[in-house]
Each structure stands twice: as structure tokens, then as C-alpha cells.
Structure 1
Amino acid sequence: MGKKLFYQDPYIKSFTAHIVTKGKDEKGNDYVVLDQTAFYPTGGGQPYDSGTIENINVLNVEEVEGEIRHYLESDLDDSTSSVEAIIDWERRFDHMQQHTGQHILSAAFDNLFNYKTVGFHLGNEILTIDLDTESLTETEAEKAEQLANQIVLENVLIEVKWVTEEEAANYPLRKETKVKEDIRLVIISDFDYNGCGGTHPKATGEVQAIKILDWEKQKKKTRLQFVCGNRVIKQLNQKNKVLMGLTQLLNSPEQEMEKSVVRLLEKVKSTEKELEQTGEKILYYEARSLLNSSMGKSVVSEVFQNRSVQELQKLARIIINEDDNDNVICLLVSQNESRLQLVCAKASSDGISMKKIAANALTMINGKGGGSDSFAQGGGEALVSADQMLQHLLELVQGE
């Protein structure tokens, strides 16, 4: 079903092959199978290789029923029998660095703390491994990272062997292999022995560096985020840009950044509290103004623009609490773009039901709401103007 050149030499960047067959998968996607290929198919946590075949972009590579299918951006000419293919080497080498770095870091956690790796994902930006432990300390993470980078620094040769199940039993495998024949071992001598079908460099030094970014509890496991190789440099560049931008915005050196941010957050919290208190005072004066302008009337009513229902509720409560006779009815309406909000309130639950009044009015605007006989609110579509809604509420109150 085609020679796997990526196993013969993971450093192959281009190759020539003959077309064995063309076909469609169950979703109707066209693919081509070659007599040999250097394109790695998705598997074992490692994504597929990209590149071109006859200058046509390879969109996906999968191994299905023993054949490696290459999905192309457009069809090959029917007369084509031999093709020239080029691997996206930057993507391939990135995957080699990340996958090998994962082996090293997983082995470090295993060797130091007996934390087994039970899950692995190689993403476009970061990698994750799931460790079989409910908790992970900062000290443990630092020790594992240091050991992993020491193995990288020592530039240990990486050996790949094909063995039988019986032969595999002679090696101290980090985990049991899923396959029982044609087992492929990836060996970092005296450190890690692991069954794996991925692509790896010749020596650990090509991984360059391993950096743990973060971790979190996932059910009874710990999910660890990290990067290797060139991704470490990219992460450093990204974080350095953010840090440099913050130093200018906060006018603070890098060493004082954390303290500056804490001071800023405390100031923001204090300012928000002051604004909230000021807003409460403004609502109080607004309520007194509405009561004064409605002196002698049993209903206080007003139309607003762009006031939230929460503001209307606060204002209505202040009005009914400030009323000296405890018998005032408060009707407030606000138009917010294409919606209307309304609040109906009074001090006592006796007499007219505010819930009934609001429910009746809300039918005009396909609205929803709720509340009690003394205090109700709701909102809906602005099918009528705010003035028309207030007039309707006044008529409903008068009718009661």
C-alpha cells in the first residue's frame, strides 16, 4: 500500500512517486494513493504533514485500511502517473521537535515522580499531556522541566528499532505498546524507551528547549501545557512584546510590573466603588426631583433613553421608599435602541397589582417579565414608542 519514506528517513524533503489509485472517501472527498510517500498521516497524537504534490496543496493525509490517502486542494490531471512531491519542512520539523520533546518531558515526570502520561495532543500553538495525578506542585514541574532540558543539552542519540512483541519485552518500556507486531521503538538510551509511530530527529539536541507553560486539574488527572523547539522562541517573542507594551503603558520597569498592575487594579476597584456610590446619589436626587415634580399626584411616571432595567429598578425603589404617603405608584419606561424596558412599582401590595399591569403592557411588545403585586418589570421589542408605552401604563392604572 505504499512505502513509508518518513520511517526510512524523516529528513526527506522531496520525493518522486507513482500513482497507485485515486478514490473518494465516504464524505465524497477525493484522494490519491502513491506507491511511496514521505507524507506522515495523522496518528499517535501527531498531525499530518502538509506540502504539495505536482504543485497542488496537500490538505490532509490519513492512513485508512493500510493505504495512505493524500487529499489534494484540486484534482490531478487524469494523464498523470508520476508525481513530484515536496514536504512542508518547517511543519514537519516542528512536529519532530514537539513530539520528541513530549517523549522527553513525559519520561522526566515518569522517572522522577512515577507520573504516567495517559493523554497527548500536539496542537498548532501548544502541546498538552495528561498526567495520571490529581495534583502537581510548582517544584515538581520545575524539576521535571530541568531534567528534560538536561537530556536535550546532552544531545543523546535517538535510536529507532522495529521489534517483535517478544523482543520488546526485553526493554524497560515506559508504557505497554498497543500493537503486538511490527513494534516501532523510539529509544533515548538510559532515559526513555517508548513504542511510537511518529517522526523524530536524530538526537535530543535538535529539540532545542522544552518549556512548561501551565497546568490545570482535569477530573482526576493533570493537564500540562508546554512548548518545544522553535515554539519556545515564538512564545518568548510574544510574551516579550506584551511585556514591553505594558512597561510603556504603565511607565514601570519589568521587575516592578506585577506591583504596578496590582496598584492599578486596586485603583480601578476603588474608582468603580466611588462611581457606584456617586451613581446611587444621582439616582436619589433624580428620585426626589421626580417626586417633587409630581407633588399631589398619585403616580410618578417618566420616559428615559438607554437606561438599563437595573437602573429603572433602583430608581423605582428609591421613589416608593422616599414617598411620604406610602401610596405613590411609580411607572418608568426606557427605550434602548430596538427594545423597551419598563418597571411598575408601589409601596404596598394592596390594591392595584403591578404584576398584572406590567403583564398587560408587555403583550403590546412581545415582551417577557415578572415580579410581584408590588413590584414588576420586563422588556420587549420597541413596537411602540416609549411615550406610547407610558401612556398605556397610565391608562391601565386609571382603569384599575
Structure 2
Amino acid sequence: MLFKCQEDSFLKQYTTKIVSCEQATLEWTPPGESEAKKLKGFNVVCEDTILFPEGGGQPCDYGHINGEPVRCVLRKGVEAVHFVECLTPFQVGDVAKQTIDWTRRLDHMQQHSGQHLITALFDGEFKYDTTSWWLGTDISYIELDTHHLISPDSLDTIERKANELIREGRKVSVELTDPEYAMLYTDARAPRGLPRNHVGVVRVVRIEGIESNMCCGTHVTNISQLQCIKLLYAETTRSGVNVHFVVGERVLRKLGEIFLREQQLNLALKGGPTQHLDLIQKLQTNLKSSTKAFEKLLKDVAISEAEKIETTRPYPKYYCLHRKDVIEPDFINTFLRNAPENIFYFLTVSENTTNNGKGVMVLRGEKTDVQKFGPKFIELLEGKGNGYNGNYQGKFNNGTKIPECNALLEKHFNDNKENN
């Protein structure tokens, strides 16, 4: 069955009737967010719909039915099931006024029609077949059936040809035909074939003079409506090569993001775009020098701390040392190489941050003491660790509990001293 959205992709409003309405829930992630929400509402089926159900690599449309938000549309056989987030059910036979999120629809049409054009050009120029594609929220890609490296020059060739055709304004039309007849189109492509549950006529999307493609998605009516295409980069995968791209409004949005980032870099680096590379390389060189100097300073501090204990008589029963300069385990190793034996050591290095602070912990001493305090400390500090004989080490996530660990050691060794 063809839906109204497939007959006229530019319809923004449509009136139909409710066929069925069933209570339902939906795990839905709002655009621009990462956490899903559990929504309550109803699965609503209408006589027809301008809201595209997910399919053919294209996400579903969003919109409203009688003012209530439609969060998802899925095809089930010959029906489009709309999940509507609302509290009151719709009545079968009631009039349903559908409105579409036009910004989302236009974006999807631009990306999908752009994908058809890019696919056709890679096929015609290099004989690379498109095996799949993904319409992402920011960037889309096609997967090409090749393991040959696609050079920047090849990407430029396809991009230039695509934008030349956009300027020519080739017409995009949709033809309806029987599935058997559709396969007779010499330039029609459907690499994965028709869905097993397909019923009725087949839509063939034709870009004038370029290609025909069996497709269920929504499309522009003229490729001039794509505005422009930008191929971003190509990456090799196990199954082929993915070519990432943006079309239309996304090109303008991407340009805006890049320009804003450039302005921020100008301020941070105190230099214009032509100087960015040199300034970053200079920063990297200075950072390496500073890191080496800092590591040497930490090593000297570790040796100095160990020498302080060496000059102390009698030796303490236990010794705690905690640094928040940086997570640098070599500080602990240097300290232990220079520190006296027969002392219980509790050593940590952690991040100097305003949050709880992650870090590294090391215990060294009598085997029984290490076995007693190692697991206990790592549990308090919310980390993981292990040990053997008189050594225990681990990584922790909550440095705020270090004073509690110190207090446990103080009580343990003071009690032993009194008992002795």
C-alpha cells in the first residue's frame, strides 16, 4: 500500500479518519539527547497518513494528530502505526487532522534524494555499488561494495559532478508500477530486493537522465531543492567503504559549526586559521618539554620523600603519602625503590579535580596487613584491585574516602602498639 506521504511528499497537513486506537508505551530518545524516556500513549492507525513510517533507511516523520505529538511511525503490513503521546484515546471514526514536522521532513528528503544522486554517480564513475546507507541525525553515509581506498580526488570528482547536476535542476519523479515490470527498468536498482511483506505496486524514483531506483522513501521533486552536497570523508570498514556526506540545510549548519569552532580556536591560539597548524605543533612541543620537566620533578620529590623516612629513627610502623598532582604511577614506584623496608605503606596518586577524583592506590608491607586492608580500601574508594604477598594495587574512583582509610590504619597500628 502507498501512503499519502509517498504520493505527495510536500503535503504538510492532511485530514483523514481514525481506524483503530490501542493503549501503548514507547521507549523514545528525544532529538539531541542520549537518554531514552518511557512514554505513555496510544498506537493509532488512520485511513491514510502524511507521516512517513520508518523504512528504506529513512527514519520516520514526527508531527501531530489533532494537536497531540506523534513520536514514532512504523509500517505493519499495509498499515502505518502512529505512536501518539497523549492521555485520552482517539475514537474510531473520528476525524484526524495530521500535521507534519516540516523541518525534519525536508531534511530527510534532502538527505535521501542526495543519497540516490551520490549512489548513482559512484556507480557511473567507478562501478561501485551501494550496498546500504544510513541517514544519521547529523551526518549520513553510504556503504560502497569495494575495498579500494577512495582518494580525496575521487571524492572531489563525485562532489563536483553532484553539484553541477543540482545547478542544472534535474527533475525527480515517482512512477508506480507492478513489481515484475519494475525489474525491467535498465537503470533501476534495489540491491536488497523488495521487502517480504511488500503488497501492491512498486514506487520507482527517477532522477531525470541519471537513474531510477525502487524506493519507499520521501523525496524532493527537483534536485535543485537539494541546494548542495558535501562529501566529508571516506573510511574503510570490514564490508566495504563508507562515504560520509551532508546535503542541503545540513551543509549550512556544518559550515556554521566549523566557522564557530574556527573563531574559538582563533581566540584560544591567538592566531588566524592559516597559523593554527603551526601554533598547535608549537603547543605540542612545549607540552612534551613541560611533561618531561614535570616527570623529573615528581621523581625528585618521590626520592626526597623516601629520604625523609630514611633519616627518621625509629622508623614509623606505617606511612601514608597522597598526591593530587596527576595520575602518575611512576611516582609511587620511584618512592618505593628508595624507601626503607619493614614499613607498611599506603600510597595514592589522583586527579586534582573538583569531583571525587580517580586515582591509583598501592599498599606494601606485611602480607597479613596487606591482605586485610587491600580489599577493604579498594571497596571504600570504589575501585578494583588485586595483590600478592606483601603488595596490593588498584585503581579507584572516589578519592574522598582516603582519610577514612588513613584512620583505619592509625587505629590498627596504634592498637597493636598498645597491645605490645
- The alignment's TM-score, normalised by the length of structure 2, stands at 0.80
Which residue identity does 1:66 align to in structure 2?
V
Which of residues 248, 257, 281 in structure 2 aligns to 1:229?
Answer: 248
Determine helix, strand or coil for the equivalent of 2:53: coil
The 2-side partners of 1:366 and 1:263 are apart by 41
Cα drift, residue 306 of structure 1:
4.7
The 1-side partners of 2:403 and 2:14 are apart by 68
The 1-side partners of 2:94 and 2:375 are apart by 71
Structure 1 residues 161, 94: closer, same or farther in 2, change over 3 A? same
Which residue identity does 1:250 align to in structure 2?
L
User: Is residue 143 of structure 1 aligned with residue 163 of structure 2?
Assistant: no
Which of residues 338, 355, 359 in structure 2 aligns to 1:318?
Answer: 338
Determine helix, strand or coil for the equivalent of 1:106: helix
Cα drift, residue 342 of structure 1:
4.3
Cα drift, residue 93 of structure 1:
1.0
Contact 1:173 1:194 in 2 (8 A): yes
Aligned residue in 2 for 1:84: 97
Contact 1:340 1:386 in 2 (8 A): no
The 2-side partners of 1:309 and 1:228 are apart by 46
Which of residues 110, 114, 119 in structure 2 aligns to 1:106?
Answer: 119
How do residues 206-221 of structure 1 correspond to structure 2 at under 5 angstroms?
A: 206-221=225-240
Structure 1 residues 392, 363: closer, same or farther in 2, change over 3 A? farther
Higher mean displacement: 361-370 or 246-255 = 361-370
Which of residues 389, 395, 399 in structure 1 aligns to 2:409?
Answer: 389
User: Is residue 121 of structure 1 aligned with residue 134 of structure 2?
Assistant: yes
Which of residues 194, 210, 232 in structure 2 aligns to 1:178?
Answer: 194
Cα drift, residue 344 of structure 1:
1.5
Structure 1 residues 168, 388: closer, same or farther in 2, change over 3 A? closer
The 1-side partners of 2:416 and 2:237 are apart by 56
Aligned residue in 1 for 2:70: 58
Structure 1 residues 291, 391: closer, same or farther in 2, change over 3 A? farther
The 2-side partners of 1:284 and 1:366 are apart by 26
Aligned residue in 2 for 1:166: 181
Higher mean displacement: 369-378 or 274-283 = 369-378
Structure 1 residues 392, 215: closer, same or farther in 2, change over 3 A? farther
Aligned residue in 1 for 2:286: 267
Structure 1 residues 356, 132: closer, same or farther in 2, change over 3 A? farther
Cα drift, residue 312 of structure 1:
3.1
Structure 1 residues 363, 205: closer, same or farther in 2, change over 3 A? closer
Determine helix, strand or coil for the equivalent of 1:201: coil
Higher mean displacement: 373-382 or 67-76 = 373-382
The 2-side partners of 1:268 and 1:372 are apart by 37
Structure 1 residues 286, 220: closer, same or farther in 2, change over 3 A? same
Which sections of structure 1, spanning at least 5 residues, go unmatched? Answer: 321-327, 346-353
Higher mean displacement: 221-230 or 16-25 = 16-25
Aligned residue in 1 for 2:10: 11
Higher mean displacement: 29-38 or 333-342 = 333-342
Cα drift, residue 284 of structure 1:
1.5
Which sections of structure 2, spanning at least 5 residues, go unmatched? Answer: 27-39, 351-355
Which of residues 350, 358, 361 in structure 1 aligns to 2:370?
Answer: 358
Cα drift, residue 5 of structure 1:
1.5
Which of residues 77, 80, 83 in structure 2 aligns to 1:71?
Answer: 83
Larger Rg computed on CA atoms: 1
Q: 1:355-376 deviations in whole A, cap 9, x for unaligned? A: 4542144365476754555755
Cα drift, residue 300 of structure 1:
7.5
The 2-side partners of 1:315 and 1:300 are apart by 17
Higher mean displacement: 64-73 or 17-26 = 17-26
The 2-side partners of 1:284 and 1:141 are apart by 57
Contact 2:173 2:207 in 1 (8 A): yes
Contact 1:104 1:151 in 2 (8 A): no
CA RMSD for the aligned pairs? 3.3
Structure 1 residues 263, 396: closer, same or farther in 2, change over 3 A? farther
Structure 1 residues 382, 220: closer, same or farther in 2, change over 3 A? same
Contact 1:52 1:87 in 2 (8 A): yes
Cα drift, residue 228 of structure 1:
0.5
Which residue identity does 1:203 align to in structure 2?
N
Structure 1 residues 42, 332: closer, same or farther in 2, change over 3 A? same
When the two structures are aligned, how many residues end up with a matched partner?
382
Structure 1 residues 139, 287: closer, same or farther in 2, change over 3 A? same
Contact 2:25 2:42 in 1 (8 A): no
Which of residues 347, 352, 364 in structure 2 aligns to 1:344?
Answer: 364
The 1-side partners of 2:310 and 2:412 are apart by 21
Which residue identity does 2:245 align to in structure 1?
F
Aligned residue in 1 for 2:35: none
Determine helix, strand or coil for the equivalent of 1:329: coil
